[in-house]
Amino acid sequence: MTLASTIMHVYGLDFTSSPARRKPITCAYCELNDTVLTVKSCLKLTSFSEFEAFLRSNGPWLAAFDFPFGQPRKLIANLGWPQNWQDYVGIIAAMSKADFENTLLSYRASRAPGDKLHLRATDQLVGAISPMMLHRVPVGKMFFQGATRLFNSPLSILPCRPTADNRIAVEGYPALLARKLVGKRSYKSDERGQQTIDREIARREIVQGLRSDCTVDLYGLSVRMTQEMAEMLVQDGMGDMLDAVLCAIQAGWAYIAREKGYGIPSGCDGNEGWIVDVLS
């Protein structure tokens, strides 16, 4: 077997519901050789057409996407949608963005206080935000723009729609990995783009942790990158490049765990989706 045949292409994507040059979808491209993940580059996808072209790119590869693949089972049941990911996401994919958002807003208006934003089982486990959220952190908008495009792609989507395709999509959550290295300290600029030295220090500590034995202990893989790439991750105040790399590490771990279902529990609700991580 040649060395090239052992290398897997791995991607991590930091997603946005409105990509543009100022705020693109950031895609970290890595190569996984056995248990060594090498960060090669960070791509900037400035439009959904570029994102869709990425989804059609030749495999084999595995990518972790930083948006929810599904909605909570409670919401799906209460709206009377089919209890199957392919069917209910198909309904959503046929909606306009405004119709989907109005559906969520109307549903939430009908619910009692404290029962408006449901969580998936995986959200509860890792402390993630509800995929129904439309404001502040617009996870619901990210779901609409991301999951419907996965639905319209040929990819194998785990655990929602597994197929024999050699391009595999899993759901990542970069904050989960970052917490293991710096706790809940903020490492990204705020909504106004303001930056502080404390956030830069946190990013530097995360990058140092990635390049140390921490990832070997936590994820069973070592991360390699050039000093230039490491400094780029630190100097990106928005944290998009760093989040993309964190997703790629989760993707690399999932690939290493492929014989155990890519690290996804066999009993999880595939219609909701599942965040891949060693502690999830």
Percent helix / strand / coil, the chain, rounded to 5: 40, 15, 40
Residue 245 pLDDT grade (very low, low, confident, very high; cuts 50, 70, 90): very high
Mean pLDDT computed over 77-83: 97
What is the per-residue pLDDT across 158-203, written as a single tens digit (0 to 9) for each?
999 999 999 999 999 999 999 999 999 999 986 565 678 999 999 9
What was the pLDDT predicted at 238? Answer: 93
Give the count of beta carbons closer than 10 Å to the beta carbon of residue 183: 8
What was the pLDDT predicted at 40? Answer: 98
What was the pLDDT predicted at 6? Answer: 80
Which H helix or E strand runs over 97?
helix 97-109
What is the per-residue pLDDT across 96-131, written as a single tens digit (0 to 9) for each?
999 999 999 999 999 999 999 999 999 999 999 999
Residue 250 pLDDT grade (very low, low, confident, very high; cuts 50, 70, 90): very high
What is the per-residue pLDDT across 7-39, written as a single tens digit (0 to 9) for each?
999 999 999 999 999 999 999 999 999 999 999
Residue 246 pLDDT grade (very low, low, confident, very high; cuts 50, 70, 90): very high
What was the pLDDT predicted at 123? Answer: 97
What was the pLDDT predicted at 189? Answer: 81
Q: How far apart are the first and last CA of the chain?
A: 34
DSSP string covering 127-178: TPPPTT--SSS-HHHHHHHHHHHHHTS--EETTTB--S-SEEEEE--HHHHH
What was the pLDDT predicted at 279? Answer: 74
What was the pLDDT predicted at 191? Answer: 59
Residue 41 pLDDT grade (very low, low, confident, very high; cuts 50, 70, 90): very high
Mean pLDDT computed over 200-212: 97
* 3-class secondary structure per residue, 228-241: HHHHHHHHCCCCHH
Domain-wise residue ranges, the chain: 1-275
What was the pLDDT predicted at 2? Answer: 39
Report the alpha-carbon distance of residue 236 to residue 228 in Å, rounded: 12
- pLDDT more than 90, % of the chain: 94
